[in-house]
Structures are given as C-alpha cells and as structure tokens.
Amino acid sequence: MSHLHIAKNVLLFESEQIRRTMDHLDDTFNQAVDAILRAKGKVVICGIGKSGAVAQKITATLCSTGTPAVFLHAAEAAHGDLGVYADGDPVLMISKSGTTEEMLRLIPFFIEAKSPVIAIVGNLNSPIGRSATYVLDGTVEKEADALNLAPTASTTVALALGDALAVALMHARGFTEKDFARFHPGGQLGKNLMLKVEDVMHEYPLIAHVAETNTFRELILAMTKYNLGAACVVDDQQRLIGLVTDGDVRRSLLRDADMSSLTVSAIMTRNPIKIHTHATLKEAVDLMENRTSQLSVLPVVEGETCMGLIRIHDIYQS
C-alpha cells in the first residue's frame, strides 16, 4: 500500500468520524454554550497528553474569538496551577478514555465551586462522562492507524468539537471582523482587517500609467521605470480604462511578430478588476486570491479615477 493511499484513507476515515460526531450532537451542546455565556469568568480547559495538546489549541481559538480561556494541565493543577481558576469558571475537560485520574480528582472541586463542567469524552459511560454537567460525545469507531493505538481520529473529533464551541460562541456574542482585528494586532490577519488599501498602495503618479494610444515601446519604458508588474491605462482625465500586466506583455511578444505598430489598446485588459482606496487589505486579498486565476496586482480607484496600484507583495510586506 502506497504512502499516498494510506494518507487518503486516514483523511477519509477521520472525516467520516467528524460526520458521525455531527449526527450525535443534541441539545446538550446548546446547554453547554449557554452555560459558558452565562458565566462571568473565563473558560478553564483541562487535559493531559494528546488531549492536553488539543486543549491548548482550543484555548487559543477561544481567546482569539472573544471568549477568555486558559489552559490547565491536569497533572500540574494539584501542584499550584489551580491558581488560574476562579469559583464559577466554566471548565472544559477533554479525555478520550474518560478515566484520566488527574482530571477525576478535580471534578468534585469544580462542582463544589459552582462551575459547570463540560466534558468531551470518547466513552460516555466513563467516570468523567457520568460526573460532568454537560457531556459532548467524542466517541470514534477506532483510531485512524492500523494498530488502533495512536490518538488520531479521537483527537481530530475533540478538536472539531472545540471549534464548534468556539464558532457557536462567536455567533452568540456577535463577534465581528473588527473584534478579530483587535485581538490580532500583530499578525497578518489583523493587519488585513485593520489596514486599508490606501495605507500600502503605490500612489498615482508614482506608478506606470499610459494612454491606450501609446506605443508598445512607450509602455515598456513606463513599466520599466516603475517596475511594479503592471501599468494602468487611463484617459486624459485620469479615469481608469484598462490594465497591462507583465504577463500581458510576455504574451504579446509571443503572439505579435511586428511590435512597431502595436499600441496599448491591443494589449490591455479593458475594465479590469479593481478595488477602492478605502477597502480593507482582506478585501484586496480576497479579490486577488479567491479565484481560479490569481492576480498579483490590482488598480486602485476612487469612483472612476485611478489612484494607484496595490500588489499582493505589498500586502504581505505591510
């Protein structure tokens, strides 16, 4: 069996387990979300081993989407780390077996302190499954490896349930792109939401711009001077009427034997895809990348007036 065949089998099997998990969801999920929304404190997410790694990822996802959360290592909790917990904090416990001893010791403490305990477990009839306030079914038919030993499908399902909780909470809180940007000021995602096209674009007239009657030679000189990968084609009132990219130039060289009589109008893309100065960088990225044939440059306009150019390189270097 080839490596590729094994990989496809793993992905197919794990996707089937997630689908199976979806079919098992019931009103308990709603109750768990509501319990988190009612609580004034943060969510404490507890796990150990591979489940601990999943818990850390869910913690990060919740924090970045508007739900304060902290990770509590189950083994370290009894040695001082319980200091991150406050009475009433909702607790999310992740355990495949549902018998993790370090976590079982903590449940009476959490319940006595009036915390709702939400459990993602792979065994609903386990001690953790029976003790938790809300139980989310994280069972799988088996693991994805041939030996049925390595935490694979079970961790994928637990992670997917954590994502489902995070997204449901985002929706309930009315979490917006502006909120997301506020929590990600230093990352590319945050920059793309906070910065506008006008913040990083190359402004007119510091871009290659030509008339459609200009010659091929004049076009090449303008594009060489500014070296931005494209030239905007404008009329005498600076209105955008077309765009010529480096790719257009190369294709014309392959196609046209006689370049001496060639004009810009024969090469340009008329009415090109464009973007407004006040659009976010995210909108620019979506325009350029979420398409079959990706774009590397966009003309920038206000109304019909050409204001400049923005390249995908400019966005990722911002």
Question: What is the model's pLDDT at position 124?
Answer: 95
Structure tokens at 19: 């689908």
Q: List pLDDT tens digits, range 271-315.
A: 999 999 999 888 998 998 888 888 999 999 999 999 999 998 888
255: Cβ contacts below 8 Å, ≥ 6 apart: none
Whether the pLDDT of residue 168 is over 70: the answer is: yes
Q: List pLDDT tens digits, range 5-42.
A: 999 999 999 999 999 999 999 999 999 999 999 998 89
Confidence grade of residue 238 (pLDDT, cut at 50, 70, 90): very high
Residue 250 burial class via C-beta count within 10 angstroms: exposed 0-12, middle 13-18, buried 19 and up: exposed
Residue corresponding to tokens 């390595």: 150
Whether the pLDDT of residue 189 is over 70: the answer is: no
Whether the pLDDT of residue 188 is over 80: the answer is: no
Question: What is the model's pLDDT at position 1?
Answer: 82
Whether the pLDDT of residue 175 is over 90: the answer is: no
> Which range, of 89-93, 160-164, 246-250, averages the lowest pLDDT?
246-250
Sign, CA dihedral 71-77-81-83, equals positive
Whether the pLDDT of residue 185 is over 70: the answer is: no
Structure tokens at 110: 């959490």
82 versus 300: the higher-pLDDT residue is: 300
Confidence grade of residue 61 (pLDDT, cut at 50, 70, 90): very high
Report if pTM > 0.75: no
81 versus 307: the higher-pLDDT residue is: 307
Q: Whole-angstrom Cα distance, residue 241 to residue 233?
A: 6
Question: What is the model's pLDDT at position 48?
Answer: 94
Ordered alpha helix ranges (H), the chain:
3-24, 27-38, 49-64, 74-77, 101-104, 107-112, 127-131, 153-173, 177-183, 188-194, 197-200, 216-226, 246-255, 281-289, 312-316
> Which range, of 72-86, 120-134, 237-251, averages the lowest pLDDT?
72-86
Give the percent of the chain with pLDDT over 90: 74
Per-residue DSSP letter, 183: H
* Structural domains for the chain: 3-175 (3.40.50.10490), 197-316 (3.10.580.10)
Rounded mean pLDDT of the chain? 91
Residue 81 burial class via C-beta count within 10 angstroms: exposed 0-12, middle 13-18, buried 19 and up: middle
Confidence grade of residue 257 (pLDDT, cut at 50, 70, 90): low
Structure tokens at 261: 């009589």
Whether the pLDDT of residue 93 is over 90: the answer is: yes
Question: What is the model's pLDDT at position 162?
Answer: 97
Q: What is the mean pLDDT of residues 55-76?
A: 93
Chain CA centroid to CA 182, Å: 15
Q: Whole-angstrom Cα distance, residue 118 to residue 92?
A: 5
Question: What is the model's pLDDT at position 80?
Answer: 83
Q: Which helix (H) or strand (E) holds 33?
A: helix 27-38
Whether the pLDDT of residue 184 is over 70: the answer is: no
